Amino acid sequence: MAAAGGESSSQSVSDELFQNFYTEVKQIEKRDSVLTSKQQIDRLLRPGSSYFNLNPFEVLQLDPEATDEEVKKRFRALSILVHPDKNQDDPERSQKAFEVVDKSYKLLLDPEQKKRAVDVIQAGKEYVEHMVKQKKKQLKKDGKSQDVEEDDPELFRQAVYKQTMKLFAELEIKRKEREAKEMHERKRAREEEIEAAEKAKREREWQKNFEDSRDGRVDSWRTFQTKGKTKEKKNRSFLKPPKVKMEQRE
């Protein structure tokens, strides 16, 4: 009974942390959603943005549970803020920021891509919860206080955020490696295809040249044979036996 009660209490604490985490996230999103155009552009293009922006919910500052209507509404508001037409004094950076927003918007409108992003975020949360549980278990085994820094909702949120970003980054690295491998294989297959085509072309040209020159070689041989016979006959016609000189008797 004590064990069951402890498990129930632990689950209750986990649910409370989870709820506090999303409450704070929503408060941050509400605060950041009123950023100026320049601030939004800076946020989207900040150092490390190539990895931060892999999370489409992070880009659009949305809760993972956001509906398609909420995604569309947020996209309209954010895209207007960072659109190049609204930021003509910084067209290059605003164009890049707009492309990031547009890409995230399209990802979240794709049910499969959206589910994948939600799964990554959930995996990040579950990993942190597991690590917290392991820490507490070890502390209990050592006879120490089971208080850990992740008990602080803000630190728990940060841990989940970091782990989620790490997972997105790992998936992106694997995707790039897979893409590079596929590109290499396509390149090699193309090179082999070109080499085979060139070899076949060389063989066809050799065959054609051989056939084109065959008649010439036969004619040359016949001419040679004919000239040889004519010369031989001519030589025989000029070969006369020497005259026998008769000896005179005295």
Instruction: Provide the pLDDT confidence category of residue 72 given band limits of 50, 70 and 90.
Output: very high
pLDDT of residue 169: 92
Residue 230 lies in a domain: no
Alpha-carbon distance 55 to 47, whole Å? 15
Confirm whether pTM is higher than 0.85.
no
Domain that holds residue 36: 31-109
Q: How many CA atoms lie within 13 A of 80 on its CB side?
A: 7
Nearby residues of 64 by Cβ (< 8 Å), 6 or more positions away: 57, 117, 118, 121, 122
98 and 51 housed in the same domain: yes
pLDDT in tens, 76-91: 999 999 999 999 999 9
86 and 148 housed in the same domain: no
Instruction: Provide the pLDDT confidence category of residue 2 given band limits of 50, 70 and 90.
Output: very low
pLDDT of residue 211: 75
Mean pLDDT of 194-200: 89
pLDDT in tens, 32-69: 556 899 999 999 999 988 888 999 999 999 999 999 99
Last-in-domain residue among 63, 83, 109 = 109
How many CB atoms neighbour CB 96 within 10 A?
A: 17
- Residue 203 DSSP label: H
Q: What percent of the chain has pLDDT over 70?
A: 72
Instruction: Provide the pLDDT confidence category of residue 205 given band limits of 50, 70 and 90.
Output: confident
